[in-house]
A and B are shown apart, each in its own frame.
Chain A
Amino acid sequence: MTQPRQPIDKILEALQERAKELNCLYQVDEQINRPDAPPDDVFRGILEVIPTGYQYPGVCRARLVVDDLVYQGPGFQETAWVQRAEIVVQGIVLGRVEVYYTQAMPRSDEGPFLREERKLIEAIAERIGHHLAQRRLRGAIQGRQAVEGGAGAAPERDWWVIVDFLRHTDRQLLIRLARKMLNHLCLNGVDEAHQLLQRFAPQRESEVQGPQDDNRPVQKKTPEDLLALTDETFRIAARHLQVEDILSRMEGWIKGDKSSFLLEALERPATTLTDVAEAIQRFRFVGVNERDLTRSMQIALRAGLVRRFFSDEQGFVNTAKNYVEVSDFYDLTPRIICPASGHGKLGGKSAGLIVAAKIVQQAREYAELLADLRVPRTWYITSDGVLDFVQYNHLEDVYDRKYLELDQIRREYPHIVQVFKNSHFSPEIAKGLSQCLGDLAGGPIIVRSSSLLEDRMGAAFSGKYKSLFLANLGTPQERLAALQDAIAEVYASIFAPDPIEYRAERGLLDQHEEMGIMIQQVVGTRVGDYFLPAFSGVAFSRNEFRWSARIRRDDGLLRLVPGLGTRAVDRLGDDYPVLVAPGQPGLRVNVSPDEVLRYSPTMVDAINLCTRSFETAPLRQLLRSHGNEYPQITDIVSVVQDDAIREPLHLDFAGDDLVVTFDGLVSRTPFILQMRTLLKLLQDRLGVPVDLEFAHDGRHLYLLQCRAQSSAAETAPALIPADLPRERVLFTANRYVSNGRVPDLTHIVYVDPAAYGRLEDLAALKEVARIVGKLNKRLPRRRFILMGPGRWGSRGDIKLGVAVTYSEINNTAILVEVARKEGHYVPDVSFGTHFFQDLVEASIRYLPLYPDEPENVLNEGFLLESPNLLPQLLPEHADLAGTVRVIDVPRASGGLVLRVLMNGEEDRAAAVLVAP
C-alpha cells in the first residue's frame, strides 16, 4: 500500500523524526546495559530518555510500571493523550510503559502520536522485557548458589537451576531443550536414552520400511507426561555427561533457540528483506554472540544471509558463508535500500566486494601488510529496485521494447533515458536515498550497477551498464535530485541496445533483468578544482597479456593510471595505462626512454568540483598549477632530462618535463608487494582468478571491486575440441599461449619466413613492410590474421622480422610470429613488444608458433598453395607474391572461416577451419 507522494521537504522532515527515535532507542539500550546499576536507577534513566524520541519532547512525560512498582517523574499527571505498551516476559505481562502528552497536540496517526512512535514504545517495552528476564535468571542462579553455599560452590547445580527456571517460565523451550538433550544422548549411544526416546515418540518397526505408514498420526503426549520425560532426560544426562558439557550444550541450544527466529526469517521465502533486516537488528539486541552458537547453526545463518542478501548462486554461497558473519550485517542492513515488500538481492558486484573485504580482514598472517586496506563507504539498492521503479511509474511498456529490431532500439534508446530520468522513485526508496546522502555527505560519489545477470553470465557483460560519477555538491535537494537522476539513467541502460543484443543472442531476453545499485564514496582528495585519487587501477591475478617469456600467468597484471580508474578499466583510444606484473615488477614492458614516453598516460579522469561534472584533463597542466597538492606525486612521475628518465629527488612542476612511470611506487613503496599478496590471497580463498579495481588517495589503499576474472569473454580460455580433423587444422601451438578466441577470420596474410629470408636486397625487404601496411588498410577490419617471421616491427635488423610500424598492422585480429629453427637454435620472438601496449589497448591477440617442435602443426600446404590474392589487390607489388601471400579463406576452403582457439590454462592453441 503506497503512501501518496510527499514532496521532498516532508520526507526530509520525516527523516529527522526517525533519527530522533533511533537515538532514543540507543539511549534506552545504554541505560539497560549499564552493568552494575541497580534496577531503580536504570528505570529512572529510561524515563528521562524516552521523551527525547517523541515529536514534542517539551510536553512529553513517561511512566513505567514494573512488577507493580511505579516509576514516574516528579509532578507527573495522567492525561487523556497517552500511548501505552505492555512489558511481556515469556508470555506474562509484567508491567507497562506509558507516554503522556501534558497538553493537546496536533492529531497524527494514533491520537497525537506518530505510527513510528508506536513502534518506538513497543521496542522499548520489548527491551525492558528482555532485561527483566535476564535479571530474573541471574537472580535465580545467585539465589540457588546462596542456598548451596556461594557462587561456584556447586556448578553442577547451575543447570538444574536453569531447568527449574524454565519449568516455571517457558515450558515449551524446556521441552525443546530436553528433546535436544535426548537426541544428543542417543547419538552418543546411551541405551537408557534410546528407551526414553521411544516414549517421546513411539517407534514402530514398520516405520523403517514403507512410505505407507508415514501418514498415520503420532500419539499426542499430554503436557504432564512431557514434563516428567524432561526430568527423566536430564537425570540421565547428569549420569552420563560431564557438567561442563551439559552447561555448554544447553547454553548453545538456548542461544540457538533465541536465534531461531532469525533462521526462520531467512528460510521462509515470504519474509521481505525489510523483515529480515529487522530480524537481524533484533538478533543484535538479543545479546547472543554468534560464536557461541553451534557450528551448524552459525553456518546455516550465514548461508541463509548470503543467499538472501547477496546471491543464490551456489558456488558463491559456498565460499561466502565461510567468511561473512552475522555481525557484518548489523552495519550493512541499515545501508540497504529496498522496496517495502522486497525480495531483491544486492547482486554479485556488491557481494564480491563485501566478501573480499572479509577475506582480507580475516587473513591474520598478512595483517600488517594489508592493515591499510580499506573499502569505501557504500550504500546499496536491491535488485528489485528497478522493478519497483518501473512499476511505480507505470513503465511496464518498456519491457516490450527489447523485442524490437536492434536499429529501432538504438534509435529510441535516448527517449527511454529521458523518460526514466523524468520519472520518480517510490517513497521508500526516496527516503532511503536521502538517508544515504546524509551518510555520504562531504565528497563525490559513484553510482554503479550490480546486476544479477552479470553474475550468472559472467562479466562478458561488464561495461555494458553505466557507472556515473556525481560531485554530490549543493543543497540537499540538488544532491538528491542528481542522485535520483543518475540512478534512473543507470536503470535505463538495461534497455540499451548493447545489453539487449547480448541477451537476445543468448536467449535471455525474456527474463526481467534485475539490477542492484551500489552508491559508493569516491576515493580521492582535492587537487585544485578537481577531486581525484592519487592513482587507481585494475589488478588481475592471471596475466593474459605477457610481454616476455619470463613472465608467468600467475605473476598477474596491474594497469595503473593517475586519477580515477575509469582510464584503467576502459580501453583508451589515445592514452595508455602503465603495465606492471606484480610477480615480476622488474620486467617492464617499456624499457627505452622513447618507449616509456610513448606509452605513458598523459590524461587523468577526475571530478571537476566547480562544474560538478566528470572530466578528462591533461595531467601536466594540473601539475603545473597544483602539483604540490597532488598526493604521492613523486612516486608517480619521473623527470625527463636529455632523453634520460630519472626518479626525481625534487620536482619543479613549472619547468620540469614530467612523465608518468610509477617508478617510485614500484621501487620505493610496499605497494607491489601488497597487490601481489592481495591477489594471491583472494585467488586462493575464492578458488578462481580474480580481477580487482582499486584506488589510492595518498594515505590508504582502497578496494573498489572484486570479481572472478575468467568470466570476461576476452580472457576466458577457449575450449579446444579433442579430435580435430587434420586437414582442417591450420596450425597448433603449445608455448606462451594466452587465453582467447578469435572467431570468423576471412583472410590470411602470410609472409613466408623462408622466402623472406631469401630476399636479395634491402629494397625488397622494406617493400614487404609497405605491402603489409597497404593490406592492413584494405582488408576487412579484425577479420584477418597476420603471420610472419620472427619479430614484427623489428627495428635493429630487418632480416629478423618485417619492419612495420603499428599503423601498418593495427587492423589485424591476431598477430602471429613463426619461429623456425635455424641450425641449433630457435630465434627469440618479440611478444609484440615493439608495440605491445598498442596491441593490448586494441585487443589484438598475439601468438608465437614453433612449427619445428614435433607436436606442432603448420599447414604450409594450405598457406603456400591456396590462390594468392596479392597480385589482384596490389598489382604494383605482384613481384613479391612469392613472399607475401593473401588468402581468402572461404574461397580457398569451400565456404569455411578460420577460428583461432587459445587456451592458456593448458598452454595450447589451434587454428581451425570451420563453418561460419
Chain B
Amino acid sequence: MAKPFNPHEMAQAQFDHVAGILNLDQPTRDLLRWPLREYQFAIPVRMDDGSARVFRGFRVQHNDARGPSKGGIRFHPQETADTVRALAMWMSWKCAVVDIPLGGGKGGVVCDPHNLSMREQEQICRGWVRQIARDVGPFRDVPAPDVMTSGQHMVWMLDEFETIYGGRYPGFITGKPVNMGGSLGRAEATGFGVVYTVREALKELGMALAETTASVQGFGNVAQYAAKLYAQLGGTVVAVSCWDQADQISYAFRKQDGVNVDALLGITDRFGGIDKKKARDLGYEVLPGDAWLEQDVDILMPNAIEHQITADNVGRIGKGVRLIAEGANGPTTPEADAVIQQRGIFLVPDFLANAGGVTCSYFEQVQSNANFFWEKDDVLDKLDRKMTSAYQAVSCLAQQQKLYMRDAAYVIAVSRVAQACRDRRWV
C-alpha cells in the first residue's frame, strides 16, 4: 500500500541503508533511528492588542553523544513533527561528518511571522526559552537561526536565557550579530569551505589547483567566496551563472582567460544578480544559464540551489570535467548521480563540501564559551584545518571501502555517532 511522502521515513531509510553498510546491531539502530528526546510545550503570549494567545513550541534533540545538540529554530505556520525529526537527524550527521563535537537537534514555534509584530515575535522568542530553559544551554543544546528567524531573534533568546540563569552565556546560541558575540568569517565560511575540499580533492587527483579551470553555478554568498578563494589560490574561473530577476531566467557569464571576481562583484546586486549590460561592457560573454555546465573546464561547482544537475542535462557536462564539488544542498538528482559515477567524475558531496557553515557556527560557540573572539584570519585558518581533515577522513574511507564519496561521507558520520554511543556504553 503506497504511502504519502514522509520526510522522517525518508531520512530513516537513508540511515537504514548506511546502517546496513556498517552492519550496525539492532539496539544501535533503534537508538539512532529516532530522536533521543522530543519536547512540546505551550507558549502563552500577550499580543499587542492585549489579548492572550497560546503558541505551540517544540524542540527535538536527535542525539548528543558527541556533544551538545546543535540545530536551528524555525517559525513556521505548521511544522509537521516528521519534518523536524528528519532535520534533527540530518544535523547529527552533518556535525559528525565534519568532526565537530556537537550532536543534532531542531526546533521552533508554530506561527507565521507575517501575522506578528516584532514585539509579539520577541515575546514568542522569550517564551520559547522560558519553557525549555532547563533543557537547553551551552552544554546541552545550542540553537541557531533557521526559516523565518534571524540574528535578532537569537539575541532575544540569549537575553532571556541569561536573565533566567543570571549570567552571561553567549555560548548558548549561535547566529548572533558580530557585535553581540557572533564570529568573524561567517560570510566566507561556506564558500571557502567548498574550495578547501576542492583543493584536497585535486591533490588526490594529482592536479595542481593553479593549473585548473572551473565553472561555478550561482553568484550568491557561497559562490562568490568560493570563486574568490579559488582564484586567489591560482585557479581560473571561466564562467559563473546567476538568476536575472528582471528577465526571470538565469544567464552564464564567461571569460575564457578568467573572470575577475572583484569586478563582477562590483556589478552584482545584493541577491547575487549580475548586471547583464555592464558585464557585456566589461567583456564577458552572456550565455544561457545552463551553459555553465557545458564549459570545457576541470571543475564544476554547483553553488546555487537544488535540483540543477539532472538526467536531462548531465549528458552535457564538459568532457574534461574531473571534479564536482556540491556547494549547494542537493544540486544533483539521483539519476544524474548515477551517470556521474559512471563517467568516473570525482564528486565531493554537499554534505561535506558545504559544511563550512556549520563549522563556523561551532567556532562561534567556542569563542563565545571562552568569551574570547578570534581575528578573522584565525577563524579561516582553523576552518581550513577542520575541513581538510574532515575531507581526508572521508576520502580515506571511500578508498579503503571502495565507497562512492557520498556514501562514504554518510558512513563516516553515522559511524562516529554510533561509536560515541558505544563509548558511553549506551548500547
Same complex: yes
| CB proximity of B8 to chain A, nearest CB, Å | 12
Cβ of B341 under 8 Å from chain A: no
Please tell me which stretch of B77-85, B224-232, B283-291 contacts chain A, meaning at least 4 of its Cβ atoms lie within 8 angstroms of it.
B77-85
Q: Which of B124-166 contact A (CB under 8 A)?
A: 147-152
Does B4 lie within 8 Å of A759, measured CB to CB?
A: yes
Contact A796 B79 (CB under 8 A): yes
Q: Which segment, of A15-23, A585-593, A728-736, faces chain B?
A: A585-593
The verdict on A586 contacting B7 (CB below 8 Å), with A644-B152, A795-B147, A807-B248 known, is no
Query: What are the interface flags for A739-777 relative to B under an 8 Å C-beta threshold, 1 for contact and 0 otherwise?
Result: 000000000000000000111111111100000000000
Please give the distance in Å from A756's CB to the nearest CB on chain B: 9
- The answer to whether the Cβ of B40 comes within 8 Å of any Cβ in the partner chain is no
B393 to chain A, nearest CB (A): 29
B245 contacts partner chain A, Cβ-Cβ < 8 Å: yes
| Interface pair A592/B148, CB less than 8 Å apart | yes
> Once the chains are docked, how many angstroms separate the CA of A46 from the CA of B388?
101
Q: How far is the CB of A572 from chain B (nearest CB, A)?
A: 12
B263 interface contact, C-beta 8 A? no
Q: Are A797 and B112 in contact (CB under 8 A)?
A: no
> With the chains together, A766 CA to B48 CA distance in Å?
38
> For residue A833, which residues in chain B have a CB less than 8 angstroms away from its CB?
112, 114
Which B-chain residue is minimally distant from A573 (CB atoms)?
B246
A830-B150 Cα distance, complex, nearest whole Å: 20
**A587-B116, A587-B117 as given contacts; A827 in contact with B78, CB under 8 Å:** yes
Within 259-308 of A, Cβ neighbours of B (below 8 Å) are at: none
**Contacts A760-B3, A766-B307 known; A586 to B151 CB distance under 8 Å?**
no
Taking the complex as formed, is A547 at the interface, i.e. its CB lies under 8 A from any CB of chain B?
yes
Please pick, from A587, A760, A762, the residue contacting B7 in the complex, using a CB distance under 8 A: A762
Question: What class of interface size applies to chain A in its complex with B?
Answer: 35 or more
Q: Which of B68-114 contact A (CB under 8 A)?
A: 74, 76-80, 83, 112-114
B115 on the A face (CB < 8 A) = yes
Measured CA separation A704–B147 after assembly (Å): 41
> Chain B residues with Cβ under 8 A from A760's Cβ?
2-5
B4 and A757 form a contact (CB under 8 A) = yes
Instruction: Given A549-B115, A644-B177, A766-B307, decide whether A797 and B76 contact each other with a Cβ distance below 8 A.
Output: yes
Q: CA of A256 to CA of B48 in the docked complex: distance in angstroms?
A: 56
Indicate whether B270 reaches chain A with its CB closer than 8 angstroms. Answer: yes
In the complex, B22 has a CB within 8 A of chain A: no
| Given contact pairs A574-B246, A586-B118, A642-B151, A828 touches B78 in the complex (Cβ within 8 A) | yes
- A822's nearest neighbour on chain B, judged by CB, is B78
With the chains together, A763 CA to B77 CA distance in Å? 23
Q: Report the separation of the CA atoms of residues A588 and B114 in the bound assembly, to the nearest whole angstrom.
A: 7
Residue of A nearest to B180 (CB): A644
- In the complex the two chains form, what is the Cα distance from A757 to B2 in whole Å? 12
Say whether B39 faces chain A, with CB atoms less than 8 Å apart.
no
* B150 and A592 contacting across the interface, CB-CB below 8 Å: yes
A637 to B74, CA, bound (A): 27
Q: Which residues of A contact B177 (CB under 8 A)?
A: 641-642, 644
Contacts A642-B186, A799-B5, A833-B114 hold; do A791 and B77 have CB atoms under 8 A apart?
Answer: yes
Residue of B nearest to A829 (CB): B77
A726: shortest Cβ distance to chain B, in Å?
Answer: 33
A642 touches B178 (CB 8 A): yes
Would you call B83 and A797 a contact (CB within 8 A)? yes
Known: A597-B270, A796-B74, A796-B79. A589 touches B5 (CB 8 A): no
- Chain A residues contacting B115 (CB-CB under 8 Å) are 548-550, 587
A810 at the binding interface (Cβ < 8 Å) = yes
A550 to B307 Cα, complex, angstroms: 37
Whether B337 is near chain A, meaning CB under 8 Å from some CB there, is no
Looking across the interface, which residue of chain B has its beta carbon closest to that of A602? Answer: B269
**Residue pair B248, A828 in contact (C-beta under 8 Å):** no
Q: B48 is contacted by which of A547, A586, A643 (Cβ under 8 Å)?
A: A586
Interface membership of B119, Cβ < 8 A: yes
- The contact string, 1 if C-beta is below 8 Å from chain B, for chain A 564-600, is 0000000001100000000010111101110001100
**Interface residue? A702 (CB, 8 A):** no
B42 at the interface (CB under 8 A from A): no
Nearest B residue to A547 by beta-carbon distance?
B114
* A762 CA / B151 CA spacing, docked (Å): 30
Instruction: Knowing A642-B177, A762-B7, A828-B78, say if A598 contacts B271 (CB, 8 Å).
Output: yes
A414 to chain B, nearest CB (A): 27
Proximity string of chain B (48-74) to chain A, C-beta cutoff 8 Å, 1 when within and 0 when not: 100000000000000000000000001
289-346 of chain B: CB within 8 A of chain A: 307, 333
Which residues does chain B contribute within 8 Å of A573, judged by CB atoms? 246
B120 within 8 A of A: yes
Q: Which residues of B contact A759 (CB under 8 A)?
A: 4-5
Residue-by-residue, is B394-427 near A (CB-CB < 8 Å gives 1, otherwise 0)?
A: 0000000000000000000000000000000000
Determine how close the nearest CB of chain A comes to the CB of B75; give it in whole angstroms. 9
In the bound complex, residues from chain A placing their C-beta under 8 Å from that of B270 are: 597, 657
CB of B10 within 8 A of chain A? Answer: yes
Say yes or no for A831: interface residue by CB 8 A criterion.
yes
* Complex Cα–Cα for A613 and B116 (A): 43
Residues of A within 8 A of B113 (CB): 591-592
Chain B residues near A429: list those with CB within 8 A.
none
Query: Measured between alpha carbons, how far is A765 from B112 in the docked complex, in Å?
Result: 22
Q: Is the CB of B5 within 8 A of A591?
A: no
Contact: A762 with B5, CB < 8 Å? Answer: yes
Select which of B76, B150, B178 is within 8 A of A593 by beta carbon. B150
Q: How far is the CB of B327 from chain A (nearest CB, A)?
A: 18
Once the chains bind, are B120 and A586 in contact (CB under 8 Å)? yes
Q: Which residue of B lies closest to A549 (CB)?
A: B115
Q: B residues within 8 A CB of A827?
A: 77-78
**In the complex, A761 Cα to B114 Cα: how many Å?**
29
A151 and B38 CA atoms in complex are apart in Å by: 97
Q: Which of B146-198 contact A (CB under 8 A)?
A: 147-152, 177-178, 182, 186-187
Q: Give the distance in Å from the alpha carbon of A341 to the alpha carbon of B186 in the complex.
A: 75
Separation of A807 and B80 alpha carbons in the complex (Å): 27
Contact with B along A623-641 (1 / 0, CB 8 A): 0000000000000000001
Complex CA gap A797/B81 in Å reads 11
Across-interface contacts of A644 in B (CB, < 8 A): 150-152, 177
- In whole angstroms, what is the CA distance A273 to B48 when docked? 55
Decide yes or no whether A800 CB sits under 8 A from chain B: yes
- B37–chain A nearest beta-carbon distance, Å: 22
Which residue of chain B has its CB nearest to the CB of A790?
Answer: B78
Judge whether A800 and B77 touch: CB under 8 Å. yes
Q: How far is the CB of A602 from chain B (nearest CB, A)?
A: 8
Complex: chain A residue closest to B10, CB-CB:
A762
**Nearest chain-A residue to B333 (Cβ)?**
A763
Report the separation of the CA atoms of residues A611 and B10 in the bound assembly, to the nearest whole angstrom.
Answer: 64
Given contacts A574-B245, A644-B152, contact A800 B10 (CB under 8 A): no
Cβ of B79 to closest chain A Cβ, rounded Å: 6
User: With A791-B77, A828-B78 known to touch, is A591 a contact of B151 (CB < 8 Å)?
Assistant: no
Query: Who on chain A is nearest to B243 by CB?
Result: A807
Residue in A closest to B83 when the chains form the complex, CB atoms: A797
Q: Which of A586, A758, A762, A807 contacts B119 (CB 8 A)?
A: A586
Complex Cα distance A597/B5, Å? 34
Interface-centre pick from B48, B115, B117, B270 (highest chain A CB count, 10 A): B115
Interface centre among B5, B78, B114, B118 (most CB of A within 10 A): B114
- For residue B7, give the distance in angstroms from its CB to the closest CB of chain A: 7
Q: How far is the CB of A586 from chain B (nearest CB, A)?
A: 3
Q: What does the 1/0 interface line of A806-835 toward B look like (CB < 8 Å)?
A: 010010000000000000000110110100
Q: Which residue of B lies closest to A593 (CB)?
A: B150
Name the residue among B5, B151, B177 with the largest chain A CB count within 10 angstroms.
B5
Query: What are 13 contact pairs spanning A and B, CB under 8 A?
Result: A547-B114, A548-B112, A550-B115, A584-B117, A588-B117, A591-B114, A759-B4, A760-B3, A761-B10, A762-B10, A765-B5, A797-B80, A799-B5
What 9 A-B pairs come out closest when comparing CB atoms?
A586-B117, A591-B113, A796-B76, A828-B77, A833-B114, A807-B248, A644-B151, A548-B115, A796-B147
Using A593-B150, A758-B4, A763-B333 as known contacts, list a sample of 8 further A-B pairs with CB atoms less than 8 Å apart, ordered by residue number in A: A574-B245, A586-B117, A592-B149, A657-B270, A760-B2, A810-B248, A827-B78, A830-B77
